[in-house]
Amino acid sequence: MTDRDVFEYALLRVVPRVERGECFNAGVVVYCRARSFVAARTHLDEAKLAALDPAADVTGVRAALRAVEGVCLGGDAAGQAAGDDAGRRFRWLIAPRSTVVQPGPVHTGLTTDPEAEVERLLDLLVR
């Protein structure tokens, strides 16, 4: 039997018009404490975005999603979070926000490969 580690994940939701509360999934953030791992993958469905808000700022939404990926990477791409460990970056990313890109609730699971889990969840829950 292979060792499995606990991981946490949250979906990234695009809420083009916050006052309406309509949203769709556009990414996932995965954190595995045992491996000091945090990563995000995103996929923006522009047709869904246009359906919910034809005047949505596609460039701005893409930039917000890329910023989440950058925070996960750490280093210069993480901005103010550059010096934080993986856990602190994950907790910062999942904090509730009232912006166009919002984190969903946190869920948990077991994995032998957190990197593969990011891709699996993106395919299952976003694409």
Read off the pLDDT of residues 76-108 as tens digits, 9 standing for 90 and up: 777 777 788 899 999 999 998 878 999 999 999
Query: Which one-letter DSSP state was computed for residue 51?
Result: H
> Is 44 inside any structural domain?
yes
Residue 60 belongs to a domain: yes
Asked if the structure places residue 68 within a domain, the reply is yes
Query: Looking at the 3D structure of the chain, how many domains does it have?
Result: 1
Domain assignment present for 50: yes
Domain for residue 123, yes or no? no
**DSSP three-state, residue 56:** coil
Whether 15 is covered by a domain: the verdict is yes
* Residue whose pair of structure tokens reads 């593969």 in the numeric block: 116
Q: Is residue 116 part of a domain?
A: no
Contact 117, 123 (CB under 8 A): no
Q: Which domain holds residue 35?
A: 5-102
- List pLDDT tens digits, range 23-68: 999 999 999 999 999 999 999 999 999 999 999 999 999 999 999 9
Q: For residues 8-18, give the mean pLDDT.
A: 95
For residue 126, pLDDT over 90 is answered with: yes
Place of tokens 């890329």: 66
**pTM of the predicted model as reported, rounded to 2 decimal places:** 0.91
Within-domain flag for 120: no
Residues sharing a CB contact under 8 Å with residue 2, sequence separation 6 or more, in sequence order: 112
* Residue 27: strand pairing partners: 12, 42
